[in-house]
């Protein structure tokens, strides 16, 4: 077997493994809490300019940044609107946390989740409606050919001018050149990305060349949304237990390529 110690397996050639009769397994759903927590953190940061305030205070500009943020205005989550694209385990927990904070939550998913809608009190919207009508757009999709550059120039133009976009799905789902252009032209309120088409981001990448006045409108983390001490322990424990199952002649769990 080939065992991924995380939820992702996009770097494994699952079709070649299937042809060779080798099961490929992942460790799904064990970093859900960590990823959902990060989404709340980055949205609060962007809405209230926290990282920007910290940087400016350390530059000796306490009064200046305080006045700037007061003049700009800072938003609470309560009564804002989130649109979640991809309602798997992570998207569902993000929706639940948002509802607890008083957010009006909508979602788009290829398969409509009626039970989740009723349980959480969230709304299904078509893809374009999610983009047009929400204050924060949260991407929690797996990467696939059909999701490559799913969010590009035309999709960003549909979004509210002050909207925030958050990607805790896979890199390559957002067209990073289009996002950088939208930020430069102030066609979008802000962005938080944890995953990228190329990791690490290469020198000279447009997202790394934002002018000073825009640095507080983009928040970048190095593919660590699902990485906490607790989540790593859960994923490693599951992975080792799954390997032990196979060594004992039992069928593996969480097979992603149909081979058992």
**Length of the chain in terms of residues written:** 260
Rounded to 5°, the CA angle 38-72-61 comes to 85
Catalytic hit among 15, 76, 186, 199: 199
Catalytic residue, candidates 33, 170, 217, 234: 170
Q: What is the DSSP letter of 189?
A: S
Is 170 annotated as catalytic?
yes
The CA-atom distances, in angstroms, between 182 and each of 47, 78, 82, 108, 150 are 18, 26, 20, 23, 15
Please confirm, yes or no, whether 223 is among the known catalytic residues: yes
Choose among 53, 63, 1, 7: nearest CA to 30: 7
Q: Are 69 and 216 in contact (CB under 8 A)?
A: no
Cβ neighbours, 10 Å, residue 51: 15
Of 219, 223, 228, 221, give the one whose Cα is nearest residue 44: 219
| Residue found under tokens 């640095």 | 215
Nearest to 176 by CA among 158, 198, 161: 198
Is the Cα torsion angle 54, 62, 190, 109 positive or negative in sign? positive
At 145, list the tokens: 């050919």
Residue 126 is among the residues annotated as catalytic for this protein: no
Catalytic residue among 187, 205, 223, 245: 223
The Cα–Cα gap between 219 and 192 comes to 5
Query: Could you tell me which residues are beta bridge partners of residue 45?
Result: none
Residue numbers annotated as active site: 170, 199, 223
């Amino acid at each position: 077997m080939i065992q991924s110690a995380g939820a992702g397996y996009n770097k494994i050639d699952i079709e070649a493994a299937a042809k060779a009769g080798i099961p490929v397994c992942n460790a799904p759903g064990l970093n859900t809490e960590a990823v959902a927590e990060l989404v709340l953190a980055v949205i609060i940061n962007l809405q209230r300019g926290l990282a920007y305030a910290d940087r400016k205070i350390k530059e000796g500009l306490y009064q200046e940044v305080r006045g700037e943020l007061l003049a700009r205005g800072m938003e609470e989550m309560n009564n804002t609107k989130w649109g979640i694209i991809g309602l798997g385990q992570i998207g569902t927990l993000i929706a639940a946390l948002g509802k607890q904070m008083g957010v009006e939550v909508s979602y788009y998913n290829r398969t409509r989740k009626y039970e989740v809608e009723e349980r959480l009190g969230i709304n299904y919207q078509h893809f374009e409606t999610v983009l047009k009508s929400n204050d924060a757009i949260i991407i929690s999709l797996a990467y696939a050919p059909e999701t490559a550059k799913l969010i590009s120039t035309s999709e960003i133009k549909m979004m509210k001018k002050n909207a925030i976009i958050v990607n805790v799905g896979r890199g390559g789902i957002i067209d990073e050149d289009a996002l950088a252009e939208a930020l430069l032209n102030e066609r979008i309120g802000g962005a938080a990305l944890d995953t990228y088409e190329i990791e690490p981001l290469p020198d000279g990448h447009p997202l790394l060349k934002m002018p000073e006045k825009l640095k507080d409108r983009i928040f970048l983390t190095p593919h660590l949304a699902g990485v906490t001490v607790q989540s790593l322990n859960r994923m490693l424990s599951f992975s080792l237990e799954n390997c032990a199952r196979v060594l004992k002649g039992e069928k593996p769990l969480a097979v992603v390529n149909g081979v058992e």
